[in-house]
Structures are given as structure tokens and as C-alpha cells.
Chain A
Amino acid sequence: MSASQPDPLPMLSSEPAPSAAPASESNPIRDAVAEAISEHRVLLFMKGSPDAPACGFSARTVAALQALDVPFAAVDVLPDPRIRQELSAISNWPTIPQLFVAGELVGGCDIVVEMYESGELAQVLQ
């Protein structure tokens, strides 16, 4: 007499993963940061605005860009801490400011000022 056993492993059946997972990971702030980086050739993420920088490092970076008379877009990271979190996750760079040119991270204040002084910044921004 053979008792037919029910499938003992119903929990391991190959059900598709809940399709809600990827959708629920949509991240509008990260998307907005990535979009800004791709849309502006020269983009500075900073604390405050170019007219009113809220941090000395941001102020020095703005000054280097302005000294070269290059138009640039700026994003103030202060209004929402998530902007900074998502930006650093994308750029793998922990501090603000961050200068992007043609979608690539050029650097923060130290690198930008160093490049300004050596003339490299002018070349990159041409």
C-alpha cells in the first residue's frame, strides 16, 4: 500500500520573487541626482548657493569656477539630507562639494583647487 505523500517542500517551490520588490526600491532622489549629473555639463553639488555658500569648502570651489568664468549649474544639498546620501552612494565620494564635468566626478574642494592652480581645471572645463 503506497501512501502518496504530499510534496513535503511546498515552501521551496520556485515561485517567482514578489515583483513588488524592485518597484518598491525606486528611489526618486537618487534618480533626480543621476539625472542632474547627466543633464548638466558642469555641475557642482554644494552647501548653499554660489551667491551664498554655506561652507568654506563650497565657497572655495565656487571661487575657482568663477575665476575661470565658466557657467555651471549648482545643487544645494542642504535642504534634504537624502540628496547628500544618494549623491555619495552614486559618486563613491564622502564629502561636499563635488564637481562633475560631463557626467564624471572631477573631485571635491581639494582637487578642484589643486587643478585650478595647476591649470588643469581650465583644460577640463574647455
Chain B
Amino acid sequence: MPSAEDIKQRIEAAIDGAHAEVEDYTGGGDHFRATVTAAAFEGCSRIEQHRLVYAIFGGEIGGPIHALSLKTQIPSTIETH
């Protein structure tokens, strides 16, 4: 059973320069909520951004990871100057 920290590390290892915040929101190790910020999302539609993250986990989504709720963002869109 993965932990929120496992999920975070796998996302950050798989997507160059990504920063992930992951929460196990039921405490059961199978429902996670992640906010992923990565420059690699630039130029991708929101659907493609989510697909990039889902692809890391393949068949685990819907299996051991029952739900991975996602919010993806590109760093430049959240920077404040």
C-alpha cells in the first residue's frame, strides 16, 4: 500500500522538476489528492497534464490506488511578482 510520501516521490522522480504535494485524504492508503507543479506541463492541455501524472502509476490507478485526485499547474502561472 503506497503512502502519500511514496506517491509524491514517484511523481517528482518521473516528471523533471516537478513539485508534488500529496495528501492521503481518507488515511486508508488508497485515496490520494495531489497538487503537481511542473514546468514540464507547459504546452500541454489540462487533460494531457493529468495523463502525464496518471501514466506514472499505470494500472495501479483504479487498482491499489483507488483514486488519485489531481490538480496540475505550471510554475509561471502561480508565481507572483
- Using CB atoms and an 8 Å cutoff, list the residues of chain B in contact with chain A: 46-47, 50-51, 54, 61-62, 67-71
A90 lies within 8 A of chain B by Cβ:
no
Give min CB distance, B60 to chain A, whole Å: 9
**For B51, what are the chain A residues with a Cβ–Cβ distance below 8 Å?**
92-93
Q: Is the CB of B54 within 8 A of A110?
A: no
**For B46, what are the chain A residues with a Cβ–Cβ distance below 8 Å?**
107, 111, 114
Q: How many pairs of residues, A versus B, come closer than 8 Å at their CB atoms?
A: 31
Give min CB distance, A88 to chain B, whole Å: 8
Q: Is the CB of A111 within 8 A of B47?
A: yes
**For B70, what are the chain A residues with a Cβ–Cβ distance below 8 Å?**
110
Q: Is the CB of B54 within 8 A of A107?
A: no
A sample of 7 more A-B contacts (CB under 8 A), given A92-B51, A114-B46, A114-B71, is A94-B54, A95-B68, A105-B47, A106-B47, A107-B46, A108-B50, A109-B69
Q: Which residue of B lies closest to A108 (CB)?
A: B50
Give min CB distance, A94 to chain B, whole Å: 4
A95, B62: Cα distance in complex, Å: 6
**For B62, what are the chain A residues with a Cβ–Cβ distance below 8 Å?**
84, 94-95
A72 lies within 8 A of chain B by Cβ:
no
**For B67, what are the chain A residues with a Cβ–Cβ distance below 8 Å?**
57, 95
